[in-house]
Structure formats: structure tokens, C-alpha cells
Chain A
Amino acid sequence: MIYDRVTIKLLEGLCHKPPKFQNGVKIVLLLLLYQMKLAVNFLTIGLVILSLPCGSYTEIPPKPPGSVTVLPPVKPAGGPQAFPDAENSNLPVFTMDYARIQVPFEVTLWVLLASFAKIGFHVYHKITFWVPESCLLISIGLIVGAIMHSVHEEPPAVLSYNVFFLFMLPPIVLESGYFMPTRPFFENVGTVLWFAVVGTLWNSIGIGMSLYAVCQIEAFEVQDINLQENMLFAAIISAVDPVAVLSVFEDVSVNEQLYIVVFGECLFNDAVTVVLYNMFIFVADMPVVEPVDVFLGVARFFVVGLGGMGFGVIFGFVASFTTRFTSNVREIEPLFIFMYSYLAYLVAELFSISSIMAIVTCALTMKYYVEENVSQRSCTTIRHVVKMLGTISETLIFFFLGVVTITTEHEWNWGYIMFTLLLALVWRGLGVLVLTQIINPFRTIPFNFKDQFILGYGGLRGAISFALVFTLPDSIGRKKLFVTTTICMIMFTVFIQGISIRPLIEFINVRRTNRNLETINVEIHSRLIEHTIAGVEDLCGQWSHYYWKDKFLKFNNRILRKILIRDNRAESSIVALYKKLELQNAMEILDTVSGDINAGSSIVSLQYVYPLCPSSSCSFSLSLSLSLSLSLSLSLSLSFAFSLACSPSLSFSLSVSHSLAPSLACSLSLSLSLSLSLALSCSLSLILLLSLSLALPLLLALSLSHSLALSFALSLSLSLPLSLSLSLSLSLSLSLSLCTNDTHTLWPCPSLCVSLCPPCCLSYTSLHLIHPSSLTHYPFNLNRSDGYLSNTSRRVGIWSIYQG
């Protein structure tokens, strides 16, 4: 590749080529993107094939909880070997040591494989709309499991007791706890606990008893399962699983009440499941059950439940307190969240109390205080990482459910399995009906029959049941039957109920809540109504949960916030929402233009471009660009936005190259930009913007050489408005351009461009954006953020923001 002398101007819209360049740039990038999609599919298959001969984890027998499993590296049979030592003792040039990296390598490959599967699903939008992702993942897992089974490989022991409960489950539960909407949750906490505790008990006991009755029927040949084993099995499969429920309910939108009850129930029934499971395991060994054991079971339930919540709250407060002091170590702030919640989980596991409740309560308590203490970046990082870890875990769990289905040994028994499925459905339905009847009078918004149907139908079982049944002690004779039945149950609920729940919700027309719409008016009126209700209640002299809420808020403001939050000025939620919406609007504007944050500034910019091209004849050019642009910006909000924008700009540039052959080029550039920006607003008149934008300007340079170039630029720009009418912006951009030279090859040419742009014509442009008459009536203060104007090259109307 010969690098010719080249001067590539960046997003300013001009690319000056020495006369030697010729035409012939293809729109490679689009092609590249297209090929990437295909490549992803190929990669998936490639990875599958690649992972097969890579050996396997050995099956570790379940150790007592609390000890960490370490998987010993296994030398794969028939895997690639290091080069055999030569007879002489020369230095080996190329060696390979697979055994050393085996474990992390395989973990990474499996995670990648599952993630590629997830990418692959979204190629066709229609599929993910109708079929929840969990089903698709299980299907892929089934395929991979079949492949592995046919080559007699053992899959990694992901769903074993320790790995599952210590590594796979906490991220998911943390994610659900962290993103749980707190207000609806606390308003419905009674219902949630009612369904979680009493509902699960009802289900377990009902299913257990009925299964025992079914076992008595001789035709099914399962008479050797005694009552305790049946009850144990019923306890395992009656628990609604958070992983499965969340993955299905995330996409369908039901009304808030229903959502929070299903959501809360699946998280909080863990306490009951833990107690019942341990109780029945204990009891299954004993020949006789005494009444005192039942009483002890009840006592244990309280210990487990309240202990879990107590640990969670303690760790939550400690975490909040710690973050109060982290203002100087912002980089590790997210770490505290993760470590403390994981600690809560592990400590709860240590005492065999409900670890899920511990981590959920920890996340709930922590979130409110921590998000006020940490920096905005840390807050975003925390949210993002929590979501990411949760998604990975969930993906892996469903994937391995599919894999393990094929590779475990099964024992099929038509009668038992069919009856289990039937009884589970029946008892859940009955349970929901009866329990709702009892609790409806106490609810402020009673559940109608449609809600109850969805509540019953949405009780999906998932991986927790599987992990529990997998680790049943082998003393239980029919363990394989239980495993098979659990798998059938999970498949049935996830596939059939999961797929059909969306059309059913549409069909029976359940009340929906539009969760996404946040308008200032609605927020203002929510608060208004709350205060009004509280006032009227005071007037009537009555108590209600608003009273308790009020009391708690007072306690919170007076004591808790002072201890746990560094800067404890209270902020109304209306103001918070307002700020958020403002930032969002600003980001939207910025993103429509910010891709070319360097392109088309409204002022003369002095640029010094020194392309770092590895060519023998580097050229050096100094270019002056003048571009005409109209700009506007509106900001004062904090948000994270992703947008695609197209903005034309006209720019002239004069460049002088090494060969001292000046050329004048006029270019019309059309730039397509994809930008990711983060804006931080400190005050009304000082705004700091940091934006990272990736732009693909498609340049048509009508230069003397008639050459075309495609430049790919990554630009980082920092702009600092100093006052309302003056702003200085410094932008630094790094660009990687693909250009052709006369040999028709494409090569990247990095260049660094530093530009300094003083502003001009700010106040004028801002006026254009609002209808002049409305200015008098709504003096909405747009001038605050004039600093951006110099960098934007697009006129955005105010009405379009609000209509967008």
C-alpha cells in the first residue's frame, strides 16, 4: 500500500486531495455494516464449532453452600497440543498452553455464544415481538445441547447448585430490585406479601396433597413416592420464578398494579420456598413428623423472611453511608453498590435465610440515597452495569436450561407429569381467585377478573425450580422423575404461557398503564393530588397510608437524609423531572446536530491538520474554513441520548500542502452522524458539554482532482460557554479516513485536528426558534445555553422539540 500525500480534513466537510487521487470510492461502510450482520451469524456458528473440541468442565459434586467451587483445568483429549520438543534444545518459536487458560476461555466463549444468539434474534423484529427471548434462548440451547450430546461432551455445570445460586442468580435479582418502581411497590406491599407468602403456601400444600393422592393410583406406578417427597417436590415447583416472569412481562405492558404484584410476588416468595424446601428435606429423612416441627417451620419462616429483609436494609444503609464519603474517589463508586449488595446476598446465604429478599431490599434501600450521593457518571455506570450483568445472567440461564435439558438423564412418566402440569395450573388459578376475593376489599384499586386471570396465567416457573430439583439429595429415589417433571413444567410455562400471554392480554383487553409517558403536567398533578388527599384526610381526622407515607417522609427528611446523604437539600420530584426533561430536550437538539459538532461552525475556524499518514510523502496542510450555518441550542438537562442525524453543510477550504501547491476546493458535504452524547449542566450560565460522536460524512469534493473520500471520524469536543453571549469552543477530533488513491486501494489515514472556534451571531439565531408572539407570553428562557450555538449547524424549532 502506498500512501500518497494526502490531506484529509475532518468533519469540517472538506477533504482535500492532491490531484493524483481518482474517483472510485465505494460506499464501503454501508456494505461493511451489512456484512457485519452476516458475519455475526457466521461467527455464531463458528463459535459453536470452535467450542466443541475445547474440552469441558468436569461435573463437580454439589459442595455445601458457602464454599466456592474451583474447576480444575482439564487437558482436553485430542485438543491442540503444544509443539513437541525438538530433539535439539533450540528455543521454541511457537508454543501453546491451552490448559492454563482453559477455564476463563471457555467461560468467555459460552457467554459470547449466548450473546451472539441474542444479537441474532433481533435481526428479525417480528420474532422477538411474538416470541419472548427466553423461549428463543432455550431453543438455541436445545440445539447446542443436542450437538454436545451427539459428540458426547458434557456441558459446563452452570446450573449446579453453587454456580447457579452464587454467581448466576444474584445479578438478575439485583437488577430486578434496583429497577423496581418504588412508589407502586410500597403502595401495594400488602398485596404483594399476601400473594407471595400465602399464595405460595397454598400452592405448595395444594399441589403436594393432590399429587400424593394421584400417586396412590396404581396405574401410574409411582406409589413409592411418599407424602414428604411429594410435598418437597410441590414446594419446588410452586414458586413463581423471577427470571422467567421478568423476561416475559418486560415486553408486555399491563397496568401498574398488576405488574407490581406479579413482580413483587416472584421476588418475595423466595422466603417461603427456602423454608419449605429446607423443612421438607429435613423431614424427608425423618420417618415421623411431629407437630412441633410444623411450629418450628413457622418460626423459621419469620426468621428467614424478616432476617432477609433486615440484612438487606442494614447493608443498604451502610452502602449509602459509605457513598457519602466517596466524593474524591469517583472512579470506584459503582464498586460499592455491587460489593455491598453481593455481600448482603452472601451473608444471607451464610445463615440460610432468604438471600433474594436480602439483595432486593438492599437494592431498594440503597438506590434512593446512593443516587443522590454519587456522581452522574457513576450513576449511569451503575445502572448500566446492573442491567448488563442481569441480562447476561438471564441469557446464560435460559441458554443452559436448553442445553441441560438434552444432556441430563430423564425418566418419563406420563401420568405424573401430566397431572403435575394440570394441578399446578388449577391450584394457581384457584389460589389467585380465593386470595383476590379476600384481599380486594382492602385494596384501593381492586382487581377485576381480567387482572386475576393474568395474575394466575403469569405464574411462570423457571430456572430456580430447576436448580433446586437438580440438587435434591440422591436419597430420594425418584429424583430423575422429578427432574424431568420440573423441566416439562418449565418448558410448558415458558413456551406456552410465555408466548400466548401477549395475544391474550390484547384479546381480553386488560387495563394498561402507559409507563413511558412522563409529562410535567402529570407529575405536577400527581403531587398535587397527593397533597390534597393528605390535607383532606387531616381534615377528616383519618389515617390512611398517606399518613404513614407522610410520617416516613418527615422522618426521612429530618434524620435519614442528614446521615446518609452528603448534600441533603431536598428536591421535589417535580423539579427533578423538569430538569430531566430539559436535559433530554437539549440532548435531542444536540444529537440532531452534534454528529458534526465540528462540521459547519458559524465562524471562521483555524485548523491545523497534520495527518499522521505512514507515507513517504506526507503532506502538511493548513486550512481555513468558513462555513455558513444556522444554529440553535436549547439545553439545561442531563441525559444520555443516542441519535442519528443528517446535516448538510457547505464549507470552503483553502489548503496548502507540502508541495506548496495551493488548491482551493469547495465541498458540499452531507454528513450522517451517529452520536452519543452526555451533557453535564452545572448552572444556568455555564455549561460543559462532552460529546463523543462518530460521524460518517459522505463527501463530495468538487476539487480539482474530482476525488471522493469517505471519512470516518471520531471526535471529542469540549465546549465551554463563558457567558450568554460569548462562547469558546475547543474541539479535538481524531479521524480515521478511508480514502482512495490512484491505485484504488483503501487505506486508513488517521489525522488529528484541533480547532478553536469563537462564536458569532448567537442571540439572533435563538430568537428564530420561538414564535415571536409567544415570547411575550411564555418567556421561556432559551438564552441560557447559547454557548452551544457556535457548534451546531442546524436550526431546530422549539415546537418540534415538544412535538417530537
Chain B
Amino acid sequence: MGASQSARTEHEFQDLADRTGFSLEQIGNLNKRFRQLSKNEETLSRQDLASISALDNNPLRAQIINAFFDKRNLRQNEAGTVQVIGFEEFLMVMSHFRPAAMHITEEEREKLRREKLRFVFNMHDTDSDGTITLEEYRRAVEELLSKAGTIGQETAKAIADAAMLEVASTTRGKMEPDEFYEGITFENFLQILKTFDIETRMHVRFLNMDTATMRCGK
């Protein structure tokens, strides 16, 4: 890469840093990783991510990979998925996992919470209709429990049902006999996870050092 190339990337990185909030070193590291995964291409496709061997044991593998290609996570207010993503989109999805800064105001904290919870919500809501229906929740729980030993499908279903019931009772209270609970909306989702301190738990500590080369293999 020539000097002009690196100057351009410097400028780009600065731009990205401003937009996503990462530091320059972090962006540099992530860029290296991106190049490694995409085999030096400009864009990343699903197969590239699927080929990471370390992800094989993760029960949520498919959902995580899908999350990267979900348009809703890319700050575009439309539904659907893309086939390939560029580095900028990669960073955007990653920015959902940034830790909270030490001194932020209450509103910023709230905003951060909403953002992270929105990510999780999108992971569940596969048909992008804005609610998590029973079927979707069931699928999520089954995936989650799939690697956890000999759990029957019935149990997973029952757990998802119980969870749904819990949401219904917390958000709706006493329901009339004719009412039908259609699904968890985003507001309900926020409500049931009120006690869950997601802003502190959902973060990846993006290092400033380059650790990608310290691990052998991907």
C-alpha cells in the first residue's frame, strides 16, 4: 500500500472514529481483522463469517452472523438483510458492543440501553414486524438450549411459553378472557428487562493492542 493509500485510510478512519465512537487504534485492529476474515476483499459475506471455527460451539452462531447482515442494525430504518457488508457496516454493528463510558448522564445511559436492547430485540424478531411472537421466542430459546445437553424440545417450548406468560402478565396485568397477547413489542421488551443492567454486561472490551496475531488460527 502506498503512502496515498495509507493517508486515505487515515482520513477514513478518523471519519469512522467520529461516527462510531471507536478510537483510532481500535479501528485499526478491527480493520486488520476484517481484512483477515474477508481474505483481503473489500466486503464480507456470510460464508466468511461462517468459516470461523471458534464460533462452531456457540449455540447462537446463526443469529450472530445474521445480526451482522441485518439492515436494522446498520442504522438504516428498513427491514431486510444485505448480502455483503463493508468495513463501515462491520464497525457499525460492532459499535453496539461498546462499553459505557465512565461518566455519562442518565439520558445517555438510557439511550445506550435502548440501543443495546434494540440489538437484542432485532436478534429475536426475525421477520421484522416489530413484535416478538411466540414462535420466534420459542425458536430463540430452542437455539439457546440446543447445545446445553439433553433438553427435550417440549421443555424448551414450555420454557418459552412460561417466559411469554411472564411478559404478558407483567406488561398487561389482568387480561380479559377474550384478549389475545400478540407478541412482545419493543416497549414491553424494555419493561421486562428493566432490572437487567445490559449497558454494563453487553460489551466487548475492544483492545487497543493488536491481539489478532497472538492467537493461532481464527
Interface residues of A (CB under 8 A from B): 440, 444-446, 448, 513-514, 517, 519-522, 524-529, 531-544, 554, 569-572, 574-575, 578, 581-582, 771-774, 777-781, 799, 802-803
User: Complex formed: what's the CA distance from A575 to B152 in Å?
Assistant: 11
Q: Is B167 an interface residue (CB 8 A)?
A: yes
Report yes or no: B174 in contact with A536, Cβ–Cβ below 8 A: no
Extra contacts, 14 of them, besides A520-B163, A531-B60, A542-B204 (Cβ < 8 A), are A444-B205, A513-B197, A514-B195, A517-B195, A520-B162, A522-B196, A527-B144, A529-B120, A537-B204, A538-B55, A541-B211, A569-B150, A571-B149, A799-B175
> In whole Å, how far is A636's beta carbon from the nearest beta carbon of chain B?
9
Report yes or no: A574 in contact with B145, Cβ–Cβ below 8 A: yes
Pull 13 A–B residue pairs with CB atoms less than 8 Å apart, ordered by A: A520-B162, A522-B196, A524-B141, A527-B144, A533-B97, A539-B33, A543-B215, A575-B151, A774-B177, A778-B161, A778-B181, A799-B174, A802-B165
Given contacts A519-B192, A522-B195, A778-B134, contact A540 B204 (CB under 8 A): yes
User: Complex formed: what's the CA distance from A543 to B212 in Å?
Assistant: 9
> How many pairs of A and B residues are in contact by the CB < 8 Å rule?
172
Report yes or no: B161 in contact with A780, Cβ–Cβ below 8 A: yes
Given contacts A445-B200, A799-B174, contact A528 B144 (CB under 8 A): yes
Which secondary structure dominates where chain A touches chain B? helix
Interface residues of B (CB under 8 A from A): 30, 33, 36-37, 49, 52, 54-55, 57-61, 63-64, 94, 97, 99, 102-103, 120, 123, 134, 140-141, 144-145, 148-151, 155, 158-159, 161-167, 169, 173-181, 192-193, 195-198, 200-207, 211-212, 214-215, 218
User: Complex formed: what's the CA distance from A221 to B166 in Å?
Assistant: 69
Report yes or no: A535 in contact with B99, Cβ–Cβ below 8 A: no
Closest 5 CB pairs of A and B: A572-B148, A570-B149, A538-B54, A535-B64, A802-B169
Report yes or no: B33 in contact with A526, Cβ–Cβ below 8 A: no
Report yes or no: A570 in contact with B148, Cβ–Cβ below 8 A: yes
User: Complex formed: what's the CA distance from A69 to B16 in Å?
Assistant: 73
| CB neighbours of B37 from chain A (8 A) | 539
Among candidates B33, B180, B192, B204, residue contacting A777 with C-beta atoms closer than 8 Å: B180
Report yes or no: B177 in contact with A773, Cβ–Cβ below 8 A: yes
| CB neighbours of A533 from chain B (8 A) | 97, 201-204
User: Complex formed: what's the CA distance from A529 to B134 in Å?
Assistant: 20
Report yes or no: A444 in contact with B195, Cβ–Cβ below 8 A: no
> In whole Å, how far is B133's beta carbon from the nearest beta carbon of chain A?
10
> In whole Å, how far is A576's beta carbon from the nearest beta carbon of chain B?
10
User: Complex formed: what's the CA distance from A444 to B33 in Å?
Assistant: 23
| CB neighbours of B134 from chain A (8 A) | 777-778
User: Complex formed: what's the CA distance from A525 to B196 in Å?
Assistant: 9
Report yes or no: A446 in contact with B102, Cβ–Cβ below 8 A: yes
Report yes or no: A772 in contact with B162, Cβ–Cβ below 8 A: no
| CB neighbours of B175 from chain A (8 A) | 771, 774, 799
Report yes or no: A529 in contact with B166, Cβ–Cβ below 8 A: no
Report yes or no: B165 in contact with A540, Cβ–Cβ below 8 A: no
| CB neighbours of B177 from chain A (8 A) | 771-774
Residue of A nearest to B198 (CB): A529
Among candidates B63, B162, B169, B200, residue contacting A578 with C-beta atoms closer than 8 Å: B162
User: Complex formed: what's the CA distance from A526 to B162 in Å?
Assistant: 17
> In whole Å, how far is A275's beta carbon from the nearest beta carbon of chain B?
34
| CB neighbours of B176 from chain A (8 A) | 771
Greatest chain B CB density within 10 A among A534, A536, A554, A582 is at A536
Given contacts A444-B99, A535-B55, A575-B155, contact A521 B192 (CB under 8 A): yes
> In whole Å, how far is B122's beta carbon from the nearest beta carbon of chain A?
12
| CB neighbours of A445 from chain B (8 A) | 200
Greatest chain A CB density within 10 A among B30, B169, B176 is at B169
User: Complex formed: what's the CA distance from A440 to B103 in Å?
Assistant: 12
Report yes or no: B178 in contact with A773, Cβ–Cβ below 8 A: yes
> In whole Å, how far is B215's beta carbon from the nearest beta carbon of chain A?
6
> In whole Å, how far is B123's beta carbon from the nearest beta carbon of chain A?
8
Report yes or no: A541 in contact with B218, Cβ–Cβ below 8 A: yes
| CB neighbours of B169 from chain A (8 A) | 799, 802-803
